[in-house]
Every structure is written in C-alpha cells, then in structure tokens.
Structure 1
C-alpha cells in the first residue's frame, strides 16, 4: 500500500519522500548486487515465466509492469503502464495498491487493490485479464471486482493459492464495515475473476508482535509450497511502525485450505527489522527462483531509516533463503543495504 491501509484513512495524504540509500561500501561487480534494488517500490511482487521476471509494486495511481531477464538488473528493466483508471471518479480510481501478476488457464491476470478515495470503506479487489503470451503486450481488460457477494467488505492484497485441483483467493480484510482490525481471508475461485462459496477467516492478530500501531494488522498474504507443506507468509502490525514484520501460517499440502484449523500459526515472526542494516519494517513480500532454478529468493520492502512509515520511502530488497530441517523457510536477517551480495545463481 502506498500510504498504508489505515494511515491513509486517518488523514495522511502526503507520501514520505524516499530516503536515498547510502553509498555502498563496496562496488558491485558483475557477480554481485546491492540492496535496495530500486529507490522506491512498496509492496513488491515478482512472477517469473519463460526466462523473464515481471516485477510489480504499488504506484498509487496505475498498474505497471517492469520486465527483466535478471533480478539483479531490475533497475534497468523495461517498464510499461498496463492500466489506469477509466476516470477520476471511477470506483477504482484512487489508492491503487499491491498489484500481483499471475498466469492462469493460459492467460495473464493482475489482482490489485483500489477504491473511490475513501480507503477506510472503499478499498476492494479488482482483476485485469490479458490473453497475449507477453504481459507487456496485448490488451488488458478490466474484469471488474472479485468479491464474496454475501460478505462484501473492505478487502486488499489479493493473492492466489492453488492446491489439489482447486484454486483460492487469499486476502486481507475487515470482518465488518465498522471494524478496522485486518484479518486474513480465503475463498474458493470458480474462475480467475469469480469467488464461490464462503469467506473463511484464516488469521487475526493475536500476538503482541501483530498489534503494533493504531490497529492490529494481518495483511500481504503470500504463498510458498515446499515438501509436504503449504506456507502463507503475511505482514503483521501496522506499516507506520518499525515493528512491521513477517509472520507465518503452515498447513499440510494435502489438507483443505478452507478449514481454518488446518493452518498453524508460528508464535514468533519470521523476518524482523535490522536497524543496523538499514532495514526497518520489512514486509509485503514475494518469492521467486534463481535463474537456474536452484535457489529460493524472497523479495520484500523496507524503509532505510527509522520512523518512515507507510510511504514511498519503502524500497524493494531481495535475498536468498534456505529451508529448516522441518521444511519451513529460514529467511534469516534482512541483508544490510549497500552490502555486495552474490547474484541469484545463473545470472
């Protein structure tokens, strides 16, 4: 989110000016890169297909895709704006947040958050479709909102889970219009732009580390599957605090995702602030494989300084991660900005 799901609701309208990253202590070579990858790009998302990486992030007023063959060279990737609001008064004309690109049933789909300008009650999830093999080409068609007609509440940060023979949408939302606590929900999809069946609540803020800020928050759900488990990595606490962090839900890969009891929440966060490394409030992540397919990488945003909140100062970083003996992901500590890091294998 450009200004944060609830900070914007409380009257914050001016994005925080990006803080220039410090001069790297070492000069990157052809085999290394340094974080941050860009000066500004909140809510980063990466989708890879046919040898290319497609990067999306919150812009606030449109949906754009950045394409690159090498994630370490993201800054030089081609950029294309693929959607803008039809008008300044459209129901999705303001607060365009957290777009995600997915290739489903032979077509491209983008899920994004937007509203009419009253983010406390107006934010909803929208879907775009493109049949061209290259998402940078062809025509993007607005399919409309994706929502549960019996529980049509405030909703942001949609992502897709495929398990067994079914497909699901997972998102962050409010239980009712009068409540501001953000919870994680799931519904089955009958096609890439339609939900079917009930809205099931998977997670609500229960630990102290999920409750920092003006309201408790679970948002930015992302899926990664490994071994016999499916993991849902989410962002916890409000983005206007440096305590914004990543949490984890886990379930067996053969279990029913619509049964909330099948998901087990970790009692501690899995990625937290590294103040000494200039990584404050790491969160809203995505995942991708290295160019040669041998490594797992996480991409996330963080602020380079303290108390920079939910604005454009948030910049994208990436780092390789490993797997624990119990098959759970081990993200380690956010890599310090300006540190020369080996590029993803194959680059």
Structure 2
C-alpha cells in the first residue's frame, strides 16, 4: 500500500533571447473558475455534498476517492490521474445497502485499499431498525480496476466487542498491518487499534489509544473522537483524529509515537493537549476534519484532504452541508505537524506539484484505434502515434491562472532521424526539435499563455512520432545568469528555497524581447535586513523595490511599460535572500473584473451595492450584480484608478477608510496593485500605504472591510477574476 513516489525531474532551460511572446490584449480573461482537471490551479471545495473523504493513490497511476454520500445508502468510487481531477470524475456506485437486516442503514466513511493483489473497501453500517448501532464491514474485489468486477462481502470486522464501531482505517508499519477505529467506550466514542492477520481478520486484542477528555473533544451531547488516520514522517508516527460533533464544532487532534516503539503499547503514544486543525471564522470555514493525507506526483508536496462546512448554526450541520477540500500541509524543522487553517469556499490554489500534465491518449477521440499505443515506459502506460498528415490532437481547454511565460514540455519517442513536431498555441505555431533515435525523451519550449482558456493542438509533422504527454509549468527568471526555471506553484516554500540556494549572485541580467505593453515585474525575496535594498534595472533605469523584514517568502513588484529588446537586471545590496524574478502581463484596463478575497472567497463591493458618493465598502457573496465589478484605469507611473461598475465612482482614501467619489485625479484615488502570487494582488493606496482588508467572512455584516497597513495576511490579497 505504499504511495508511488515519482522522482522530481529538475528542468533547466538556458535562454538569452525570448521571441515567442505575443501581445496582451485588454479583452483577455482573467478567470479562476476551472472546469478542466488539468488546469494549473484549482478552487476549493473540489467536491460538494460529500463527507469523510478518503483518497488512495495506487501504482496504476490513478487516485481513487471515496466519501460518505448524504443519503448514506451506497458506496461511491471515482478515480482520476490527478487529485484535483477527482472533482470532475464520474462517481460510480460499486455497492448499495441491503433492504433489511445488517448493512441496511447509514453507510458511513468508506476507505479503499489495495492489499496483496486485491482491492478492499472498509465501511461502517447499521440496521434499519437500529440506525445508529454501527458495525464495521469489508468488501473484496479481485479485478485490476476496482470500478469493474464484483465486490464480495468478506464479512464483519470482529473486534471481540459487539458495540457501536465506525471509521475503520489501516496502515502498514514494519511489514505489520494495523487497523484503527472508533467505538463505544466508557467516556464516549473512543479510539482503538489492533494488528491484522489478513484484510478481514484481526490477529490481536484491541488496545485503547485515547478517549474524549478535553473540552474540544466533548462539544456534543455524545462525546466523540473518531476518524483516525496515520502519517509517517522521519522517525515518528503521527495519528490524527477528529473530535466533537460533525457540525461547526468538529476539529482535529493528534497522537504521536516513535517509529521504533511498540505501537501496541498505549504508553508509546503521546497526546497533544490542543487541537491541531480548527474552524477558521475569518474564512467561513467550520468543522474541518475526517480526511486523508497524500504526497504529490513529484514527491515534493504534502496534501491534506478533509471536509468542512461553510458556516455555523442552522443549515450547517452534517449531511449535505459538508464539502471536500484540498490544501498543502507540512512539517516544521522541529518535526511538528503543521496543517494550517481551513480555506474558504472559492479559495484558489496551485495544483499539487507535478499534476499539470495532459495525457494525450485522453484527447485522442479524433484518431483511429491504430493511433493509440501502449508503452510501459509512457506515463500511464499509454500514448498516441501521429503518422498521417490528417491526424491531430486538440487540447481545447487549457487554463492558466494568469498571462505569462510557461514551460511547455513534450514527452515522446522517435525511432528515426531528427525531426520537428509542430504544436499550435491559440493559433500560433511553434516547433519542438525532436532528437534522433530517442526513447522516452522530454523536450521543452518557453511559450506564452493567456490568463484563462487556451487552445493547444498537436499535428503530424514531417515523420511518425509516438507522443506520451504535454506538461505545463510556470516560468521564472531565476536568480542565476540567464537561467529559466519552471516550477508549478511558485509560492511553495520548498521550491523557493531550492531556487535561492542555487544562486548567490549580486547582479542578475536577462535579455527579453517584449511585445509592447504593461507588465508586472515581481521579485521573490525574504529576510531583508534593515539596510538591504533590491532594485530592478530596466535598460539602465533603476527602480527600487519596497522590502519588508519578514522571514517568510514574499513578493515585491512594480508595474512597467516594456517594449522590444529589453534588458532586465536584478540588483541587491545588504542581506536579503532572492529566489527568482517573474515577468507577467499587467492586469487589463477597461475590463470588468471582480476582486475576490483570498481568505474569505467573497467579493469587494460598495455597501449594499450603493450608487451614492461617500459610501464605504464591504464584501459579499459572489453574485452577477454590477456592484461587484470594477474597471482599472492605469496611470503612466503604473498606478490605477478603481472604478465601480454600478456607481461609476472611484475608490478614494479618506483618513483610515475608503469611500466612493467622482474622479478628480488626486493621489488619494491612485492604487498600486502589488503582486502576491497566482494572479492575486494587494490593493495598496499610493498616498497612504493602506490596503483593503477583509476583517470578517460573514457577508451579512454591514461593513466588514477595513483599510490597514500592508502585512502578510491573506485577508489583504485579492484575485482579479472575470466570470465567463
């Protein structure tokens, strides 16, 4: 049951002159709502009306997901080659409850595993005449694909106690399989564990791991701890669990043990006195818990899967109110598990590292069956063969979070002479130089994609080639001489540190061929000393960047008008760490955009959608009203006026707040858009340095927007979005 860990391939592209950029037109869409599982980003929640999510990565290249359905009457299974693609995978019912007797009511918390060549699903169920008297059961399937074949009931998991028992979960350690579960105990639902003889039989008596004892474990009439899951990291075992009722009171706790200890000795387990994952009222994200833990395709990132609800009180109990979310987690230098805070509905994140891969056989509906090939060394074991001039493959919906430079990688095999493989990007043709006699080789080009939807098409070139996949990565001008580095999710600390470690240069220079237009040029930095400075030099003109002293990675950016042959240099003095330089198209003018808060997932608008001058601003759930739409008007210094679509008035600083006023071209009406990653910005007053901040996630509060000094909070970060 070990996770497949794909080696991370470091990709370096040396380049001195970029010629593949195209002009940025003001009508381009900056869209973050994705309908494509291969997008470079995703938006939480990924699945609605599901709870207790379990995702299992198998060696066949697929992720398999199960969860409790709100009807509690069946077991659903879905699969995808990416985690985020599970949002679009068709759920298949693989088993339904009995009409009467055992397993006829409240089918809860299924988990799927592949053990010794067969598939097993563990779940808990009650009887229709005793709907909350649950027992644990296991199904078996010998098919290679668990969506096919027959599921045979192996029976009830016998623990030696005929009492309420739910949430069976397994882990393997030192070639021993363990089962954990939640069952009735003296103080309420209690965690137990035993070793296993085989996938349906326990080999030892149970031990009690922990029972409800703290206030945060007892926020229900029945005291509940449940949903055990295990993470192994370095020399320790981390056992997470969920506590209290499944509404907004739900939260997560932790037990830890040394990996070389006797895990069947309760004394080996140390319990944290405080919960490790709790509700985030600022994000309207409540009751997080009962999830699972994964590692990204390239093994560089850890992902937490869990469910949460979008509020508290009436309507936000269990059942349909719960939804499934993904977000990264980590371990700190001391080995402490860091789950962070649950994110809001609408929160946009980069796809788990290594997932923006387009398996070409999935897009080959226009090709003959002879054009499909099997190759055990291809990703997923399959690919396509383009051998006729009429043959082509179209990727009609490739979504990028922002206009900018990307690495486009093609994986292929070529049994003959060197050749060219054409590919068109939004109608513009580029060509890969294909090596001779090359097997399972990857070649990369630097291309420009627009924010929103892009179309890619691969056609037959001048000879037959076998193609595996196309993969996309962000491009950055790294802190190294003329080196371009791709990396999905550039805000990931691990990747930033890796880039920073590879360069200690004081002066970095890049020559670019830039279509005329405005650009955001951003440098990633951290740990700036008081006397440190960083400047971007554009064709000999030095433009200083504003730095903060934070130990966390941050961006400092400027808006610049660039055209033609451009020499960009990055200068630094004093103590400051630099990771890379980004060059992106600046946000468009005269296009109706929303500002959606990164922390809360809701949009900026005048109070109650007012058209009156003098009104302040609030945030509210995303709607189609003009009150939530804004147009940007750029000044020559790169600052902007922000015009509201419903009122025609401009956001203006007055003291420590902002109000709507007529345009008068005063400095109080000018705003800087400071890049904050993944197509998001801080909106900072050019006159006062204050930034709009979401101080509560409840849209029913009349005024829940303040204007404060810039800091590192997500509450000050806004996505620029445009609904299609």
TM-score (norm 2): 0.43
CA deviation after TM superposition for structure 1 residue 138, in Å: 1.6
Identify the residue that residue 47 of structure 2 maps to in structure 1: 38
Which one of the candidate residues 338, 345, 354 is aligned to 1:346? 354
In the alignment, structure 1 residue 71 sits paired with structure 2 residue 59:
no
CA deviation after TM superposition for structure 1 residue 338, in Å: 0.7
Which one of the candidate residues 219, 223, 238 is aligned to 2:230? 223
Conserved 8 A contact 1:51-1:291: no
Conserved 8 A contact 2:238-2:256: yes
In the alignment, structure 1 residue 275 sits paired with structure 2 residue 284:
no
Which one of the candidate residues 238, 249, 265 is aligned to 1:259? 265
In the alignment, structure 1 residue 144 sits paired with structure 2 residue 155:
yes
Q: 1:180 to 1:65 in 2, by over 3 A?
A: farther
3-state DSSP of counterpart to 2:32: coil
CA deviation after TM superposition for structure 1 residue 173, in Å: 0.4
Which one of the candidate residues 53, 57, 60 is aligned to 2:67? 57
Identify the residue that residue 202 of structure 1 maps to in structure 2: 209
CA deviation after TM superposition for structure 1 residue 215, in Å: 1.9
CA deviation after TM superposition for structure 1 residue 78, in Å: 2.8
Give per-residue Cα distances to partners, 1:249-302, cap 9 Å, x unaligned.
000112222111101111111110012212110010111111222211000000
1:275, 1:70 → 2: CA distance? Answer: 30
1:233, 1:26 → 2: CA distance? Answer: 36
Q: Where has structure 1 moved over 6 Å in runs of 4 or more?
A: none
2:273, 2:73 → 1: CA distance? Answer: 36
3-state DSSP of counterpart to 2:267: helix
2:235, 2:31 → 1: CA distance? Answer: 40
For residues 1-150 of structure 1, the aligned pairs below 5 Å read 27-28=32-33, 30-49=39-58, 50-59=60-69, 60-85=72-97, 87-117=98-128, 118-120=130-132, 122-149=133-160
CA deviation after TM superposition for structure 1 residue 180, in Å: 7.1
2:334, 2:62 → 1: CA distance? Answer: 31
CA deviation after TM superposition for structure 1 residue 332, in Å: 0.6
CA deviation after TM superposition for structure 1 residue 31, in Å: 1.4
Identify the residue that residue 16 of structure 1 maps to in structure 2: none
Identify the residue that residue 249 of structure 1 maps to in structure 2: 255
Which one of the candidate residues 191, 194, 198 is aligned to 2:198? 191
CA deviation after TM superposition for structure 1 residue 57, in Å: 0.3
Larger Cα-atom Rg: 2
Give per-residue Cα distances to partners, 1:88-145, cap 9 Å, x unaligned.
113011100000001111211110010103244x200000011112111121111010
Conserved 8 A contact 1:281-1:302: yes
3-state DSSP of counterpart to 2:93: strand
2:193, 2:290 → 1: CA distance? Answer: 18
RMSD of aligned alpha carbons: 1.5
Q: Bigger relative contact order, structure 1 or 2, given CA contacts below 8 A and separation 6+? A: 1
1:161, 1:101 → 2: CA distance? Answer: 12
1:96, 1:329 → 2: CA distance? Answer: 31
Conserved 8 A contact 1:128-1:140: yes
**Richer in strand (by share):** 2
1:186, 1:153 → 2: CA distance? Answer: 15
CA deviation after TM superposition for structure 1 residue 344, in Å: 0.4
Identify the residue that residue 171 of structure 2 maps to in structure 1: 161
- Structure 2 residue ranges without an equivalent (≥5): 1-29, 356-724
Identify the residue that residue 3 of structure 1 maps to in structure 2: none
CA deviation after TM superposition for structure 1 residue 328, in Å: 2.9
Give per-residue Cα distances to partners, 1:220-263, cap 9 Å, x unaligned.
111111100111110011223x2210100000112222111101
Conserved 8 A contact 1:160-1:167: yes
3-state DSSP of counterpart to 2:216: helix
2:258, 2:187 → 1: CA distance? Answer: 31
Identify the residue that residue 335 of structure 1 maps to in structure 2: 343
Conserved 8 A contact 1:63-1:84: yes
Conserved 8 A contact 1:26-1:340: no
Q: 1:26 to 1:328 in 2, by over 3 A?
A: farther
2:294, 2:204 → 1: CA distance? Answer: 30
1:202, 1:326 → 2: CA distance? Answer: 24
TM-score (norm 1): 0.88
3-state DSSP of counterpart to 1:219: strand
Conserved 8 A contact 2:113-2:119: yes
1:147, 1:297 → 2: CA distance? Answer: 33
